């Protein structure tokens, strides 16, 4: 099952620069592991925003929820998920 997720990141003002850097390191590690195993099929930065569009390829809604809620920066992200179906005009 394919899902498009938009993730908007907003760190609280009280978080130190060191905490933010540490969090971003953990996030990178987790994100790259998901990309390695294919569940995070692609990730794109939204130009000019601290946000991304990501395509997930997973078995179920429950699996996607598990993945999203395990992102180290999950408490600091607003996430909007759109389920994707095959377009009838697609050649792939």
Ligand X SMILES: O=C(O)C[C@H]1C=CC(=O)O1
Q: Give contact residues for ligand X (rule: CB under 6 A).
A: 7, 9, 27, 31, 43, 52, 71, 73
Q: How far is the CB of 44 from ligand X (least distance, A)?
A: 9
Query: How many Cβ atoms sit within 10 Å of the Cβ of residue 58?
Result: 20
Which is closer to ligand X, CB of 39 or CB of 87?
39
- What span, in angstroms and rounded, lies between the C-alpha atoms of 51 and 88? 29
Secondary-structure breakdown of the chain: helix, strand, coil percentages, each rounded to the nearest 5: 35, 30, 35
Nearer of residues 3 and 71 to ligand X, judged by Cβ: 71
Q: Report the residue number, 5 or 83, with the smaller CB distance to ligand X.
A: 5
């Amino acid at each position: 099952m394919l899902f498009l997720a938009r993730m908007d990141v907003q760190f609280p003002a009280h978080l130190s620069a060191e905490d933010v850097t540490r969090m971003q390191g953990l996030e990178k590690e987790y994100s790259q592991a998901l990309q390695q195993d294919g569940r995070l099929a692609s990730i794109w930065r939204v130009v000019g925003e601290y946000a991304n569009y990501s395509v997930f390829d997973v078995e179920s809604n429950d699996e996607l929820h598990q993945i999203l809620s395990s992102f180290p920066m999950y408490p600091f992200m607003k996430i909007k998920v759109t389920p994707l179906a095959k377009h009838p005009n697609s050649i792939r």
